[in-house]
Structure 1
Amino acid sequence: MKNSKLPQRKNIRLEGYDYGSSGYYFVTINSREFRHTFGSIENKVMYLSPLGEIIVEEWEFTGELRQNVKLHEYVVMPDHFHAIIEIRYSRNKNNIPGEFKASKHTLSSIIRAFKASVTKRNIKMNPGDTKSVWHNRFHDRIIRNNRELQNKKRYVLNNVKDWKG
């Protein structure tokens, strides 16, 4: 039963789309309260904080850990993180041994695990800070063609030099 006093969140995912299917996704994850805790930009160069370095390590580990994921361009910004992620083949719909189970390989589950691992390491580094590093949600865009993929790659690669923060 939903509590009618709480605001109802709008589902931001594309209705009916299988977010575990093969394809490219552009993802943006904001820091909690949009704080500039991941580093700073000076003279069009991003200088990572220790937390920003953890984000890079955990994102790269995501690509190593998940056989069906290929990481493409990504950038850590002072208050957010952009990435292009490719889910390389569909989830296991036939329950074939050795293939992936559905729930662990959707875009949401990949991002949730990444966010959790970064937060866990931040809590170890800063024991008094037990809150999540991240904003509760993340934004994604399904990349539908090669032109859009190239545009998103350019956007990610130019994000630091275009920063107006």
Structure 2
Amino acid sequence: MNCDSENHHRRSIRLKGYDYSQDGAYFVTICTCDRACLFGKISNEKMTLNECGEVVDRYWNEIPQHFLEADLDEYIIMPNHIHGIITIKQFVGAKDFSPDTNHSAQSIYFPDTKGAKDFSPLHATAHGTSKTIGSIIRGFKIGVTKWVRNAMDIRDAWQRNYYEHVIRDDDDLTRVREYIIENPANWAIDKNNPKRI
């Protein structure tokens, strides 16, 4: 399998000008390189994960531990791809915060702000790439790829890119959830099924 970017030249499939770090729900599909069925099989319209599929499942569920702004919704691991909903939310407060037990409330100094003329709050800087849907997917793919290379001696686990859909409203969210849940039952007609391609 060879899914390196040198052999797969294509333009970006992302929405031009869209900020993929903003709050919202994203439906993503990530496919294996050459649509290889690495994660298990469908039988009786149910997905049965193999060892690699179980690793993918574990790494998927660990996403919120590595990306505090990410929440997971419905997802399904298929033989050669994963569908999932990732919600990005604004993180408020200090990350990795622990209380200061060395000081009491009486020892805190509050400066006198009387007469402060040019005081204005600092403006938040633009989101960095570490909070985008792309960086979340990249981190997930890297973790799985490392395991696959060690355990299965396969160089490229994933195709170069991934597909995403910005979920627009509750009706859209409901449709996407139903699609994900029904995906194993529709494997025979799935465009990612190698027997159908």
Place the TM-score, normalised by the shorter chain, in its bin: 0.7 to 0.9
Aligned to 2:103: none
Distance 2:74 2:156 in 1: 24
Deviation at 1:8, TM superposition (A): 4.8
Q: Does the aligned pair in 1 maintain the 2:76–2:84 contact within 8 Å?
A: yes
Aligned to 1:139: 163
Q: Using a 3 Å threshold, how does the CA distance of structure 1 residues 124 and 7 change in structure 2: closer, same or farther?
A: closer
Question: After TM superposition, what 4+ stretches of structure 1 lie above 4 angstroms from structure 2?
Answer: none
Q: Does the aligned pair in 1 maintain the 2:21–2:127 contact within 8 Å?
A: no
Aligned to 1:3: none
Q: Using a 3 Å threshold, how does the CA distance of structure 1 residues 7 and 79 change in structure 2: closer, same or farther?
A: closer
Distance 2:58 2:8 in 1: 35
Return the letter of the residue paired with 2:181: L
Q: Does the aligned pair in 2 maintain the 1:26–1:84 contact within 8 Å?
A: yes
Deviation at 1:43, TM superposition (A): 0.7
Q: Does the aligned pair in 2 maintain the 1:22–1:90 contact within 8 Å?
A: no
Deviation at 1:102, TM superposition (A): 1.4
Aligned to 1:9: 10
RMSD after superposition: 2.0
Return the letter of the residue paired with 1:84: I
Q: Does the aligned pair in 2 maintain the 1:21–1:90 contact within 8 Å?
A: no
Specify the SS of the correspondent of 2:86: strand
Specify the SS of the correspondent of 1:75: strand
Q: Using a 3 Å threshold, how does the CA distance of structure 1 residues 19 and 139 change in structure 2: closer, same or farther?
A: same
Aligned to 2:185: 161
Structure 1: gaps spanning 5 or more residues: 1-5
Aligned to 2:136: 110
Give the number of aligned pairs. 153
Q: What is the TM-score when the length of structure 1 is the normalising length?
A: 0.86
Aligned to 1:59: 60
Structure 2: gaps spanning 5 or more residues: 1-6, 93-122
